[in-house]
Amino acid sequence: MNNLIEELYTEIDFEMFSDCEHAVHGVTSCPKCCSGQYFNDNEINYSCEQKMKLYIIRYLPVHASEVRSSVGVLKNNAVMNRILSQDNLNVLSIGGGPGSDIIGFREAHRSIHELREFLEEESYVAEINYLKVEINDDWNALFERVININVDGRLGHVNENYECIYGDATSIVLGIDTQDVILLSYIVSELTDDEAIMLANNIKRWSDENTIIIVNDRNQEEVTNRVNLMFEILNAQDAGEFESTGWAGFFYPDEIRDSCEVKLNRSSMVSYAVGCQ
């Protein structure tokens, strides 16, 4: 991850801000434009390549850490561990953008199979299928760079496959198998209540009583209420929530940390459920 962060930093021209047509009104720099879009009813827009690269620099390590930490907690649940340890696992990322949720989940999931391989006498091969549904296909090239992080960490007995489908997850019609895990990281906070209802109805089509749903998002009452609304529509079973806090565990070079105004600590609310009826 360090190499990617440093590469992206060299590709950003901070002087472009003064003439940028995508700049959020009232902000004074590219980093502040990146963060400012989430407040004061500003439009959330990732059409600017600079903003997308800054997003990865600022948020990828901490958002991946939030998902990784969350799976680390949830795998202690016997039912979830059984699902996560399956030989074949379908993982759906909704609105995953650059893929921070996928690489966070992937790292935690690899540790499950490392332990399983150690404990089991017979060898096995697992097939893990990651599917990302994303409205903005401008993320594609950056997503490819992100998922190639830590390729040396792949396990020889676990095949990891990746596919992207570009479309609006609230309305898209997908002919896909039932998903074992559905990840929603910092997407519910970008939806209206009506859009969240539409998305929940779509998730019902992609899940069943054995699907793990993990929502990682802002620790704000408005967002938590929207997640709860979705869980009611899903008739989510064994639902719960907990805060993900603490240092994300990533060391930035001082220059990048200061100039990009990065997020260093986890601060999300994790909502989860096992099974939709």
The reported pTM is 0.92
Sign of the Cα pseudo-torsion (12, 15, 20, 23, in order): positive
Helix, strand, coil distribution of the chain in percent, nearest 5? 45, 20, 35
Q: Tell me, what's the pLDDT at 195?
A: 97
Structural tokens at position 256: 């990048």
Do 125 and 116 form a contact (C-beta atoms < 8 A)?
no
- Burial class of residue 76, CB neighbours in 10 A (0-12, 13-18, 19+): exposed
**% of the chain with per-residue pLDDT over 90:** 76
- CATH architecture group of domain 59-251+265-274: 3-Layer(aba) Sandwich (3.40)
- Selection from 196, 194, 183, 185 nearest residue 231 by Cα: 196
Per-residue pLDDT, averaged over 165-172, amounts to 95
Question: CA 157 to CA 264: how far, in whole Å?
Answer: 34
pLDDT tens digits along 200-231: 999 999 999 999 999 999 999 999 999 999 99
From first CA to last CA, the distance across the chain in angstroms is 39
Do 102 and 96 form a contact (C-beta atoms < 8 A)?
yes
Q: Which helix (H) or strand (E) element contains residue 202? A: helix 193-206
Delimit the domains of the chain by residue range. Answer: 59-251+265-274
Cβ neighbours, 10 Å, residue 3? 9
The one-character DSSP state at 186 is S
pLDDT tens digits along 3-60: 999 999 999 887 777 677 767 766 677 777 766 666 666 666 677 888 899 999 999 9
